Structures are given as structure tokens and as C-alpha cells.
């Protein structure tokens, strides 16, 4: 059997980042976290979160950098770029181009399709529900993969982002891609993370950095988001049709660099 080894940027940092708590603990955990966050930081993060979750559809471009510490202690940074298109009632399409791969993940409200364009191979998973949250959680649970910026695209970003936070503060103002932004910094027991949010009446996340505190070398995952649009997206792109000659694979495995390779199985 052939296997699709799909290494996606989000796969490596998800173990270090914030994990969505069980529903029975969410309310208490959120209240505790909010108590640890300075009022201005909570206000700015909530405004951004409310803005994003109010959008029925959105799209953006991203650049991701994933640091890996090798066995000799040297940091190596792997970079990739892609796009995100999401309609909360219809599905999503995520593309990614890295040094060795050209890949996409598509959700049509029922089925999650992973497609390696260069190798013309694909795999599919059934989502337990029709929501974007259901699909991203199934993708994560079944493969270890994650949508870039999944925390930001959740139905309630503020609850996800603040889960486990032990402190949060406003660092100050900064410019990301020439856009004036509010720079916020947060801590959890496992990671430190920072976010840069555009100032003004349409607050959007422009940069998101997660630092692992208890891994040698403190590697970071960095995500830059641009070209935000809240117009209606073309839902036709959520319908995956395997290209001519595409080979369907049965096994998907996550790794840390962000490439797709076809392996011969046993």
C-alpha cells in the first residue's frame, strides 16, 4: 500500500500551541485566563476575535516559518506560503507551497480532501460534522495536521486563544507589512505567543508567533497574514474532484517540515 506523508507547517507547532479545552471545562478555564490578561490586551484580542468570527466568509494569504532544532543544536527555518479561503457554512480550501511540495486541503462540508499536486496523489477523511471546527479537529486528530492559523479561524477565537493563558499584556505599537498594529504578548505553561493586530475599525491578525519554552533552542512558529478579504468566496473551490490519473492513498502521516512525499507501504 502507498502512503501519503504530508508534512504541513501547522503540524509541528500544534503540540506546542494552545489546545481547545473540553466543553465542560471551557467556561471556568476562560474565566481564569481572562483574569490573568491585562484589560487592554483582553479588549484588543476580543475586538479582533469578534471581527473575524462575524465574517461568514473570508480569505487571506499567508507566509509561515517553522523552526526546527537538529540533533547538533542548530536551528533550521523552513518557509512556506499559501492561501486560506473559508465559508463558515460551506467549507474551506487551504493551499501551501514549500520547497518540495505543492499541496492543498479542501473541506466541502462533509469530506476533507488532501491533495499533493506534484505527485498527483490524494487522501480523504470524513468529518464528524459540517462545521469548520469539526473539520479542523478531525484533521488534527486523524493526521496530526493543522490548518495554518486554525486558532484564529475558529468559531470563537478568543476562547481558543486564551485557554491556558497565565498572563497577557500589550507590548506596544508596531508596523507589520507597513500597517500600524497593536503588539500583544501572552504566556501559557507550555508556550509563549505573540500577536500583531491591525489598528482601526477592522482589527485583523497580521502576525502570529508561537515560541516553545521547554524544547531545546526554543524553536518558533511564525505566521504572517495579508490580503485579508471578507467578501463572498467562490464555494466551487471547496468541491474536490481528483485530477485525471490521481492516485488515492489510504494513509496520511504528519511530519515537521512541510513537504509531501509518496512512500511505499508494507
> pLDDT tens, 116-144?
888 888 999 999 999 999 999 998 888 77
CA angle 155, 221, 208 (to 5 degrees): 50
C-alpha cell at position 2: 502507498
Q: How confident is the model at residue 100 (pLDDT cuts 50, 70, 90)?
A: low
Q: For the residues 159-180, what does the mean pLDDT come to?
A: 97
Q: Is the pLDDT of residue 15 over 80?
A: no
Q: Which domain holds residue 107?
A: 2-264
C-alpha cell at position 147: 490548518
> pLDDT tens, 52-90?
999 999 999 999 998 989 889 999 998 999 999 999 999
Our count of domains for the chain comes to 1
Q: Is the pLDDT of residue 4 over 80?
A: no
CATH of the domain at 133: 2.50.20.10
CA–CA separation, 118 and 261 (whole Å): 9
Q: How confident is the model at residue 249 (pLDDT cuts 50, 70, 90)?
A: confident
Q: Is the pLDDT of residue 261 over 90?
A: no
Region of poorest pLDDT, from 137-146, 186-195, 250-259:
250-259
Q: How confident is the model at residue 215 (pLDDT cuts 50, 70, 90)?
A: confident
Amino acid at each position: 500500500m502507498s502512503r501519503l506523508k504530508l508534512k504541513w507547517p501547522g503540524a509541528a507547532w500544534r503540540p506546542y500551541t494552545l489546545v481547545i479545552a473540553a466543553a465542560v471545562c471551557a467556561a471556568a478555564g476562560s474565566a481564569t485566563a481572562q483574569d490573568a490578561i491585562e484589560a487592554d490586551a483582553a479588549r484588543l484580542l476580543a475586538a479582533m476575535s469578534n471581527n473575524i468570527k462575524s465574517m461568514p466568509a473570508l480569505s487571506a494569504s499567508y507566509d509561515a516559518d517553522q523552526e526546527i532544532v537538529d540533533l547538533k543544536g542548530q536551528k533550521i527555518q523552513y518557509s512556506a506560503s499559501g492561501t486560506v479561503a473559508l465559508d463558515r457554512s460551506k467549507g474551506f480550501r487551504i493551499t501551501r507551497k514549500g520547497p518540495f511540495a505543492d499541496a492543498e486541503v479542501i473541506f466541502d462540508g462533509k469530506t476533507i480532501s488532501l491533495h499533493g499536486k506534484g505527485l498527483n496523489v490524494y487522501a480523504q477523511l470524513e468529518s464528524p460534522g459540517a462545521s469548520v471546527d469539526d473539520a479542523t479537529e478531525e484533521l488534527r486528530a486523524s493526521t496530526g495536521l493543522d490548518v495554518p492559523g486554525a486558532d484564529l479561524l475558529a468559531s470563537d477565537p478568543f476562547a481558543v486563544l486564551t485557554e491556558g493563558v497565565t498572563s497577557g499584556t500589550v507590548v506596544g505599537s508596531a508596523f507589520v507589512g507597513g500597517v500600524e498594529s497593536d503588539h500583544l504578548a501572552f504566556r501559557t505553561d507550555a508556550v509563549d505567543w505573540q500577536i500583531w493586530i491591525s489598528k482601526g475599525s477592522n482589527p485583523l491578525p497580521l502576525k502570529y508567533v508561537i515560541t516553545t519554552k521547554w524544547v531545546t533552542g526554543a524553536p518558533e512558529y511564525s505566521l504572517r497574514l495579508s490580503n485579508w478579504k471578507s467578501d463572498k468566496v467562490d464555494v466551487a473551490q471547496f468541491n474536490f474532484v481528483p485530477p485525471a490519473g490521481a492516485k488515492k492513498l489510504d494513509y496520511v502521516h504528519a511530519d515537521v517540515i512541510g513537504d509531501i512525499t509518496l512512500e511505499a507501504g508494507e
